[in-house]
Amino acid sequence: MATTLQALTTPAANVGARLRLLRKDRHLTQTELARQIGIQQSDLSRMEKGEYRVSLDSLFKILAVFEVSFNDFFDEKQVADEPKRALSREDMQILHLVRELSDEGRREAMEFLEFKVRREQQDRRAIASRRESRETGS
């Protein structure tokens, strides 16, 4: 009993519970999913309870089966937007530089900036989410 209670609060149990939900969403039985991942049904059942650890190979198979995205596989933590700030001298300098560019150059710069912003947001969210998990001990 102690093992089961402990398992419910571990990261492995959280991942297992999420996996179970995804499997049910896709109307897959444990036997079907276990076959696709290449593990035994009894092991998948234990994995959903947080009692079975998978190899990296099996983990990648799971991610491939569910064509997983960050949002799908794990509960994404919403990070509050950063407060709006007045434009700094450096911000103004960037704007002036962008104005010097051709339309094509502006489009490319915009794409690059959007990519960088998205990437940094993801990284910040990832680190914040993990810090929170560690602090709450889950």
Q: Given the rule CB under 8 A, which residues bind other proteins? A: 10-12, 15, 38, 40, 42-43, 46, 51-60, 63-64, 68-70, 73-74, 76, 122-123, 125-127, 129-130, 133-134
Instruction: Pick between residue 106 and residue 116 the one whose CB is nearest to other proteins.
Output: 116
Minimum gap (Å) between residue 17 Cβ and other proteins: 12
Indicate the burial class of 39 (C-beta count within 10 angstroms; 0-12, 13-18, 19 or more). buried
**Rg over CA atoms, the chain:** 22
Residue 20 or 46: the one with the smaller Cβ distance to other proteins is 46
Q: Which is nearer to other proteins, 101 or 113 (CB)?
A: 113
Q: How far is the CB of 2 from other proteins (least distance, A)?
A: 13
Give the residue carrying structure tokens 């794990």. 74
Which one-letter DSSP state was computed for residue 32? H
Tell me which residue of 14, 61, 56, 54 sits closest to 35, measured CA to CA.
61
Considering Cα of 131, then 134, then 135, then 138, what sign does the dihedral take? positive
Least separation, in Å, of the C-beta of 101 and other proteins?
27
Q: Which is nearer to other proteins, 32 or 51 (CB)?
A: 51
